[in-house]
Amino acid sequence: MADRTELLEAALDSLPEGIALIGAEGKVALWNRLAEAITGYASADLLSRAVPEALALSGPWPDGPDPCAESPEGRSVLVHLGHKLGHNVPVAMRTLVLRDGLGKRIGTAVVFHPVESLDALPHGEHSEDSGAEADLVEFEVRLESALEDFQEGGESFGVLWITVDQAHELRKTHGVKACESMLAKVERALANGLRPADEIGRWGDDEFLVISHERTAEMLAAHAQVLAGLARTADFRWWGDRISLTVSIGAAQAEGNESLANLLERARVAMHSSFHAGGNQITPAPGGQVCSPS
């Protein structure tokens, strides 16, 4: 009969994420098969050795990258790992300090997967030279972290997909600079309607996404109404012209074990319903499966 160590290794090898267990002294105690595939480093390369500096090229830690440190607020963060062949691999990583029954630190668990797995998520259109790609990746990681937390019994949340109804026309008639100035003003106005735990990010050239920690779909729609009102009060002027602003919003509350892609697609479809109905509207997204499971 297999001992507990063999069972643990087999269980961790079966998981769809890279897993590393690092002892209190900073040496690798376990490196599962997906961690090998993601980094190119075999378990035999690393076991009982200190974590190579190349494995954490960048991260959120104030004193430099440290895969043994606990993730800020226990959330997934974007880190670039060094592959054995020399290239960088962007991953969503979260870490957890492990302690014994007396509270003494005995090691760290590190869980990670490539952010390329998020590439198929629905986004708004964005220009290749807009510089938005890095921001999109960062926000994708925060979205996935919120969904992971919810599906593990944490706080409920939903997403609000927001487009400014006048953005496309303003971009054509007044130019990119005017449109970007307007969008910055709208983003500041929307941010005034968020609570500390909520987040807003650009989700395309003319679109925003809000992570809203409401408990129900009805409360999420009410929050969207507040944000729509704030957008209408954003006083935007360009070369003396006062331009009235409105937004179209799709509101989707996270459900059960749905994928992030499905949640976002529900919000996107609802936003387009608002926009094509004449704008300045909020459409709650119906529940259920929209995207085919990958």
Task: Of 142, 265, 123, give the one whose Cα is nearest residue 197.
Answer: 142
* pLDDT tens digits for range 150-178: 988 889 999 999 999 999 889 888 888 99
Retrieve residue 153's tokens. 């019994």
* pLDDT tens digits for range 11-47: 888 887 889 898 888 888 999 999 999 888 888 888 8
Confidence of residue 95 (pLDDT cuts 50, 70, 90): confident
**What 8-state DSSP symbol labels residue 68?**
T
pTM above 0.75, yes or no: no
Interatomic CA distance for residues 270 and 197, integer angstroms: 24
* pLDDT tens digits for range 51-88: 766 566 554 433 334 444 554 445 667 777 888 888 88
**What 8-state DSSP symbol labels residue 92?**
E
Q: How many CA atoms lie within 13 A of 80 on its CB side?
A: 9
Predicted pLDDT of residue 62:
36
Retrieve residue 30's tokens. 């376990």
Q: How many CA atoms lie within 13 A of 261 on its CB side?
A: 11
Predicted pLDDT of residue 110:
87
CATH superfamily of 4-115: PAS domain (3.30.450.20)
Residue 114, exposed/middle/buried by CB under 10 A (0-12, 13-18, 19+)?
Answer: middle
Interatomic CA distance for residues 182 and 206, integer angstroms: 10
Q: Domain 119-284 belongs to what architecture?
A: 2-Layer Sandwich (3.30)
Domains in the chain: boundaries: 4-115, 119-284
Confidence of residue 193 (pLDDT cuts 50, 70, 90): very high
